Amino acid sequence: MSREGLAHAVERMRDRGMGPEAITVFEHYYTQLEDGAQGTIPEDSIEPLRDIQALGEVEVSDDDARRALGQTAVIKLNGGLGTSMGMSGAKSALEVKDGLTFLDIIAQQVLALREQWDVELPLILMNSFRTSAQSLEILAKYPSLPVDGLPLDFLQSAEPKLRADDLSPVDWPRDPELEWCPPGHGDIYVSLVTSGVLEALLERGIRYAFISNSDNLGATCDPDVAAWMVEHELPYVAEVCTRTKSDRKGGHLAVRKSDGRLILRDTAMVAEGEERFFADINRHHTFHANNIWIDLTVLRERMAAHEGVLGLPIIVNRKTVDPADHTSPEVVQLESAMGAAIEVFEGSEALLVPRTRFRPVKTTNDLLVVRSDYFVLDEGHRLVAVGEGPEPFVDLDSAYRLVDGFEKRFPHGVPSMVECTSLRVIGDPVFGRNVRCIGDVLVDGLRRVHDNAVLDGSVLGAAVTGRSGATEPRRERADIRTVDQHLRTILSSMEPGATESVPLTEALGLVVARDIRSRVNLPAFDNSSMDGYAVQAASLEGAEDVPVRLRIVGEVAAGASPSFSVGPGEAARIMTGAPVPPGADAVIAVEDTDGAATGSVECRASVTRGRYVRPQGEDVSEGAVIVAAGDVVGPRTIALLAACGHATVEVHRRPHVVVLSTGAELVPPGEPLGPGQIHDSNSSMLWAAATAAGASAEIRAAVGDTDAELLAVLDEVVAGADVVITSGGVSMGAYDVVKSALAGKGVEFVKVAMQPGKPQGFGHLSGPDGRRVPLFALPGNPVSSFVSFEVFVRPALRRLMRLTPERRRVRTATLTSGLHSFEGRRQYGRAVVSRNSEGALLCTPVAGQGSHFVADLSRANALFVVPEDVVDLVAGELVDVIILDA
């Protein structure tokens, strides 16, 4: 079908008016796709990019800068629709700062450069067929912007989206424009030629072009880069920035071993199983900013030499025909990356630029920071950070992901971020006016953040520090931390784990990382739901009154492929699950016949078309979303994935927990006890609790009572652990080794207002690869250790796996006996919760509430929770309970 599909695609492109160059490029990539090209670049074929010229070391004179800028044009890639942010129009039309859109700011940046350097600096947009009209309408506000003889925009090519199953052009009558897609920003080179813009620029003496994304407000036309390029007669310059862990998914430059050329490797070009190399920020320490500078005369020569086909690496992009409808058919878009052209231009260079030249707005998280007071627009309309610290990290919940939801929840503007280092929002609160964020802020479970609120640290439930309608939190002693405060400190530092593809048998209980589509129809073919005979329904008209005999033409068993057809007056014996032979449109049940195996069969009932036929795709159609991102994999999910052709699933990784206890008195279970020794029960308990929470876990032998012993073991285990849990050694004793060894080494030891479990330690160890590994230092008494795990560690593990809810549900039960609690501490007691004859929950505290009573702990199936300000409860009162076995 693929050759026929190519012919249909080319015909559609001609009908749409695409030029021969664009069609030739499409045919080039279609042929690669047909031959099985995946567009990957294996790690062993490249070397990391090492020595790079830094922009800060470039020295040029003002005259050189002016001359270079006078030969330069600014071209902005402006074809994006912002569909990932829920937009349908041009993304650059979004108001991004001080009521200005991206295009307003870009236009004013160009006009400011013209005035400053006294040059005629053209601005030209490469629009898609969906963004042109809206974008030009915005630019019409700047009458001095156009340059004589040059357009303000040109259209990038359009190509048909291809059905994923047979590579034919997709049909989508609901919105025919969705049948088309731009071929990636690598199309700019072809479109510059076919639009005539390349020749027009050269005729006006414009030799160089600075090309960047319109949503990157840091990408201004820097005269120093232009002058450096001219001075060194470079044909092509790519800007790169120093990589951080937040840039692990961004493309990077590398050196191809075979010919020493610089090449670009984007995320889609990573070979399967080599994601770890791509994400290694020490190996590949810069990322491609997608800001490029190009000599247009060299481009013209290369395009002529290659007959319009530069041969950029193919990118196979799999999407749905309607990006907003995940159930629409899966399609393939053939794309290429603009930055991949670096390998085509001999003598290309990379230039290390500051992070200020990379300020993209890809998500509403980015939008919040750019809109905030952390950034201002200077006199040249450049985006300038005014905060003293690094750019704030923002992680908004899913309710804010689309622009519409974002705007509704910030109706009076975004918070002040100039003093903020991070903001995480869980839930979907609406923010009031003049909200101010200071330091690391976690907002969890609020419905509204009031006007003038000051968010400093963690905010849970209704507690918001601030003024004018904000609620003042309960004041605690300075030397003791509340349970909620300690939990917020822990959760705010938890970074969800990376995703990985795992076999179905290893995915149980994990969260799916991205939507999964069926690879097949279910059923895969029309099949019988009954033992009987496949017939044409019309052959049995009136059979309930007068039996009809049909000639048996064959038999179909499950798993067979019938080589015959069923015509009028004919029947085929068929078994449950067997494919319905051609010609048949119904099945009559065997009990409505005489059951003959050969010759003819007497049928004593009529049937309607489709009777007892399970049609192809009735359950699931090929390409439909069968499991959504965020779903938890359960036994039924695994059955569905397997049935739909998936042997693996991409999930948020299961953290690996290493458990170790401290104390020379501890002996492994099963070994004989010496004087003063006890069996180590905590390690087994915590291992089981971590495993039950969904993590993988291992137990290390108990560690003795010296700092050196503990530190040596931790240095060893941190290499393979995602989380470390210790028990014991956190109090005030002379042999509390955990506290003495780790205090001051990234682990904070605090008192928490709870009973049991007052002494707690939490912090991060440094792994050999720079990873920050959370360490929980829990008390040594078994009950204290168990309660601490339930209250602090379990929610943290679930956050790492993106499992929700992170905390167990709190219910209310009626006490069967009274109890006494400590004032100022939240008590977590052990209880047996049952139901009475009417179904109401009853809570019976176990007899032994001491923190060393393991037997009573094993008998309990719940924890009762007594608030800090309650001392006595009597039988018959309601108490909060956490069911442990639910």
From the CB of residue 600, how many other CB atoms can be counted at a distance below 10 Å?
15
Spatial contact of 641 and 649, defined as CB atoms under 8 Å apart: yes
For residue 742, the SS3 value is helix
Distance CA 589, CA 119 (A): 86
CA distances from residue 283 to 43, 463, 548 in whole angstroms, order as listed: 11, 44, 78
Report which of 65, 78, 192, 193 is spatially closest to residue 130, judged by C-alpha positions: 78
Distance CA 866, CA 446 (A): 23
Spatial contact of 726 and 747, defined as CB atoms under 8 Å apart: no
Report which of 609, 606, 594, 499 is spatially closest to residue 546, judged by C-alpha positions: 606
For residue 265, the SS3 value is strand
Distance CA 437, CA 369 (A): 12
* Single-letter amino acid code for the residue at 623: G
Q: Where are the beta strands (DSSP E) in 446-582?
A: 448-449, 454-460, 499-503, 516-517, 527-528, 532-535, 548-556, 570-574
Kindly tell me the burial class for residue 414, based on how many C-beta atoms sit within 10 Å of its own C-beta (0-12, 13-18, 19 or more). Answer: buried
Helical (H) or strand (E) element with 330: strand 330-335
Q: Where are the beta strands (DSSP E) in 249-329?
A: 252-256, 262-265, 286-295, 315-320
**Cα Rg for the chain, rounded, in angstroms?**
34
State the sign of the Cα–Cα–Cα–Cα dihedral 105, 109, 112, 114. Answer: negative
Give exposure, 94-115, as e/b (b: 16+ Cβ within 10 Å): bebbeebbbbbbbbbbbbbbbe
Residue 7's region, left for phi above 0, alpha for psi from -120 to 50, else beta, is alpha
Distance CA 25, CA 156 (A): 13
- State the angle between helix axes of 20-34 and 2-16 in degrees (0 to 180), rounded to the nearest 10: 160
Q: Is 161 a catalytic residue?
A: no
Determine which one of 249, 362, 739, 745 is catalytic.
Answer: 362
φ and ψ at 790, to 5 degrees? -60, -40
CA distance between the termini of the chain: 53
Encoded tokens for 291: 């800001």
State the sign of the Cα–Cα–Cα–Cα dihedral 58, 63, 64, 68. Answer: positive
Spatial contact of 539 and 606, defined as CB atoms under 8 Å apart: no
Distance CA 797, CA 515 (A): 23
Kindly tell me the burial class for residue 151, based on how many C-beta atoms sit within 10 Å of its own C-beta (0-12, 13-18, 19 or more). Answer: middle
Distance CA 884, CA 859 (A): 11
What is the distance of C-alpha 353 from the center of its chain? 27
Distance CA 301, CA 462 (A): 66
Please give, one letter per residue, the 3-state secondary structure of 609-665. CCCCEECCCCCECCCCEEECCCCECCHHHHHHHHHCCCCEEEEECCCEEEEEEECCC
Spatial contact of 574 and 531, defined as CB atoms under 8 Å apart: yes
Report which of 485, 487, 479, 482 is spatially closest to residue 824, judged by C-alpha positions: 482
Residues marked as catalytic: 362
